[in-house]
Amino acid sequence: MKKQSLSHKIARLRSRLQEAEWRRYGALLLIGKLTGIGLLVVVMAFLNPGLLGSRVFAADPVLKGNDIVNPINTVWTLIAAFLVFGMQVGFTMLEAGFCRSRETVNVLMECIVDTCLCGILFWAFGFAFMFSHGNGFIGYHWFLLQDVPATYETSGVAFLAFWLFQFAFADTCSTITSGAMIGRTGFVGDLLYSVAVSGFIYPIVGHWAWGPDGFLATMGSAGNFLPGLGTSFHDFAGSTVVHTIGGFIALAGAIVLGPRLGRRFKRDGGGPMLPHDLTIAASGGLLLWFGWYGFNPGSTLSAMDFEGIGRVAANTTLAACAAGLIAMAVAYTKNKTWDVSFTVNGFLAGLVAITCPCYWVSPTGAILLGGIAGVIVVLGVDLLEWLRIDDPIGAVPVHGICGIWGTLSLGFFACGKYGATGPLAADNSAPLKGLFYGGGTTVLMAQAVGSAIVTVATFGVALAVMYAVNAMGLLRVSPEGESLGLDLHEHGISAYPEYVISSVASPAALVVEKTDKVVIPATQAFLATQGD
């Protein structure tokens, strides 16, 4: 066969297109081809997105969407969980530094044992009460982590990674409580109320707001609690769920316990007992700030919502910065000193406040609401002093009161741009808008209702628990034990057996004579116990 020229071929094609049989044959060929391609596309789209067009590399695995989303969201949640766990180091140092040296070992033990206890309780039933399906009041599946799915709900986060994240939150709540009860709580009493906090109060009240069917989570819609409200209760990372709960249990504990021996209040001519190590306390405060980057940004449970995690992290930072500066300034106007305790509690107050609204406000809003928290925390400390409540580290104003403020602040500052996070991306189709952005009082009302219910319920139950433990004679140590110091009384050792402790550390700290005389009660007492 001789080679045909291109022009000849085109001419032949043109003549054939005029013949019906050749046209039918061509159409059949085309239809068959397109059918084949269509089928192939469907099969491939079904099996695998992202097939061709990539550089060819023999060993390359083919990944489904969830093969990518689940690891990314799980890594994010796990690292956030680690950071939240790291807050235990911060709390331990903060509380240890702010207390007196004679009660330091007790603080260390409470922080560590609360963590251990919380882990076992959250494995056994705490997590089940809080995050499993049940009713609006409590969850009742997944006890002992039995029969759990691979990922939590639709988050794409491995179930046990989600468990760890939530355990770290529960642990935080439990540790907050201990801060207001430093220096006079018996260790067995601490174990008892910690079981109540980690195992029951936090998980059950928490279920209301964060459980898959909690009545505050579903509030405001048809068929649920207060259907007329028009919106549910929102608490992104726990201003209410973690901090208000922790802070108001702390308040109940401090009230039932009463103040430490020798603690005189300002209106009685006294003042707060001195901390014993501000370096440890301030470093612990900064570690808490560091760990908060797991707390708030991690609460998306989704790194796929990459704009969300960036915004939450930035808002968290700015609220803390503003609150620290404002608290320092307010304290300066009162005392004419640049007070490090108020500055630390200031930025912590900002962090607590931004914890609820961090996803829905703008950086400017974060600064404003954080700054207000910086004022509130100083006033809150004054209020407790006036009420003659001894809260050695300021747990109630920082966590309890600023938790309420943060929860309400969403009703003012929600900027109307952001709706809900999600495992694949944000869903901003129904954004939250607060009073200051023209959204009216809908969000504010829902926040007020949720905050009030949680606060009242928590405080009531916590009072009952604390009174019960107290009635068993286990909540407060004997005056003799307290005078000796909890460390020697309960734990058999001083935190610093070698250091010479000045007489300032005697129970009535500020009423000592001005003298060079050096007494070393802790060391002496220790030696006395060893000599037996």
231 binds a copy of itself (CB under 8 A): no
* 271 DSSP assignment: -
The single residue among 10, 144, 464, 472 that binds a copy of itself, judged by CB under 8 A, is 144
State the Cα–Cα distance between residues 308 and 291, nearest whole angstrom. 18
Contact window for a copy of itself (CB under 8 A) among 173-181, 361-369, 409-417, 453-461: 361-369
Candidates 113, 260, 124; CA nearest to 180 is: 260
Cβ 402 to a copy of itself, closest distance in Å? 16
Q: Does 358 bind a copy of itself (CB under 8 A)?
A: no
Task: Determine, following the binding rule CB under 8 A, whether residue 3 of this chain makes contact with a copy of itself.
Answer: no
Of 151, 130, 312, nearest to 210 by C-alpha is: 130
Q: Which parts of 2-144 are beta strand (E)?
A: none
- Tell me: does residue 280 bind a copy of itself (CB under 8 A): yes
Residue 55 makes contact with a copy of itself by CB under 8 A: yes
Mask: binding to a copy of itself, 445-484, rule CB under 8 A, as x and -? ----------------------------------------
Estimate to the nearest angstrom the gap between the alpha carbon of 75 and the chain centroid.
18
The 3-state secondary structure of 53-69 reads: CCCCCCCCCCCCHHHHH
Using CB under 8 A as the binding rule, whether residue 167 contacts a copy of itself is answered as: yes
The span from the CA of 291 to the CA of 341, in Å, is 19
Query: For residues 222 and 219, what is the distance between their CA atoms, to the nearest angstrom?
Result: 9
Verify binding: residue 384, a copy of itself, rule CB under 8 A.
no
| DSSP tag of 400 | I
Tokens representing 351 are 């962090």
User: Of all helices (H) and strands (E), which one includes residue 455?
Assistant: helix 442-471
The half-sphere exposure of 136 on its side-chain side, counting CA atoms within 13 A, is: 9
163 binds a copy of itself (CB under 8 A): yes
Site for a copy of itself in 96-115 (CB under 8 A): 96-97, 100-101, 104-105, 108-109, 111-113, 115
Q: Does 490 bind a copy of itself (CB under 8 A)?
A: yes
CA-wise closest residue to 87 among 165, 3, 190, 188: 165
What gap in Å lies between CA 107 and CA 486, rounded to an integer? Answer: 9
Query: Residue 497, interface with a copy of itself (CB under 8 A)?
Result: yes
Supply the minimum distance, in Å, between the C-beta of residue 147 and a copy of itself. Answer: 12
Per CB under 8 A, contacts with a copy of itself among 282-321 are 282-283, 285-287, 289-290, 293-294, 297, 303-304, 306-307, 309-311, 313-314, 317-318, 320-321
Token digits of residue 494: 């001083």
Q: Which whole-number Å values give the CA distances from 391 to 178, 265, 404, 490, in the listed order? A: 10, 11, 18, 21
**Of positions 235, 277, 385, 391, contacts a copy of itself by CB under 8 A:** 277
Residues 12-41 that bind a copy of itself (CB under 8 A): 20, 23-24, 28-29, 32-33, 36-37, 39-41
Q: Which is nearer to a copy of itself, 208 or 526 (CB)?
A: 526
Contacts to a copy of itself from residues 58-97, by CB under 8 A: 58-72, 74-76, 78-79, 81-83, 85-86, 88-89, 92-93, 96-97
- Tell whether residue 524 is a contact of a copy of itself (CB under 8 A): yes
CA 26 to chain centre: 68
Helix (H, G, I), strand (E, B) or coil at 32: helix
Helix 202-210 to helix 245-257 angle, to the nearest 10 degrees? 150
Told to check if 278 binds a copy of itself by CB under 8 A, we report yes
Count of residues that interact with a copy of itself, criterion CB under 8 A: 162
Q: Helix or strand or coil: residue 211? A: coil
Asked if 199 touches a copy of itself (CB under 8 A), the answer is no
Q: Which stretch binds a copy of itself (CB under 8 A): 45-53, 128-136, 200-208, 246-254?
A: 45-53
Site for a copy of itself in 393-452 (CB under 8 A): 424-425
Among the residue ranges 228-236, 404-412, 457-465, 518-526, the one whose residues contact a copy of itself (CB under 8 A):
518-526
If one counts every other C-beta atom within 10 angstroms of the C-beta of residue 11, the result is: 12
User: In this complex, which beta carbon is closest to a copy of itself, that of residue 221 or of residue 338?
Assistant: 338
Considering the complex, state which of residue 307 and residue 379 has its C-beta at the smaller distance from a copy of itself.
307
Instruction: Report how far apart the first and last C-alpha atoms of the chain are (Å, whole number).
Output: 118
- Among residues 119 and 258, whose Cβ is nearest to a copy of itself? 119
Task: Tell whether residue 322 is a contact of a copy of itself (CB under 8 A).
Answer: yes
Q: What are phi and psi of 256, to 5 degrees?
A: -65, -40
Minimum gap (Å) between residue 159 Cβ and a copy of itself:
7
- Take residue 363 and report the two structure tokens written for it: 């950086």
Tally of CB atoms within 10 A around 498: 6
In angstroms, the Cα distances linking 508 to 107, 265, 269, 373 are 20, 12, 12, 32
Q: Which residue, 60 or 222, is less far from a copy of itself as judged by CB?
A: 60
Query: Does 141 engage in binding with a copy of itself (CB under 8 A)?
Result: no
Instruction: Report, in Å, the least distance between residue 115 CB and a copy of itself.
Output: 7
How many whole angstroms separate alpha carbon 401 and alpha carbon 378?
11
8 scored as a contact of a copy of itself (CB under 8 A) = no
Q: Running DSSP on this structure, what letter comes out for residue 272?
A: P
- Cβ at position 225, least distance to a copy of itself in Å: 30
Q: What are phi and psi of 394, to 5 degrees?
A: 80, 30
Between residues 224 and 523, which has the closer beta carbon with respect to a copy of itself? 523
Hey, which residues between 247 and 276 contact a copy of itself (CB under 8 A)?
Answer: 274-276
- We find the least distance from the C-beta atom of residue 362 to a copy of itself, in angstroms, to be 8
Residue 105 CB, shortest distance to a copy of itself, in Å, is 5
Shortest Å distance, C-beta 26 to a copy of itself: 9
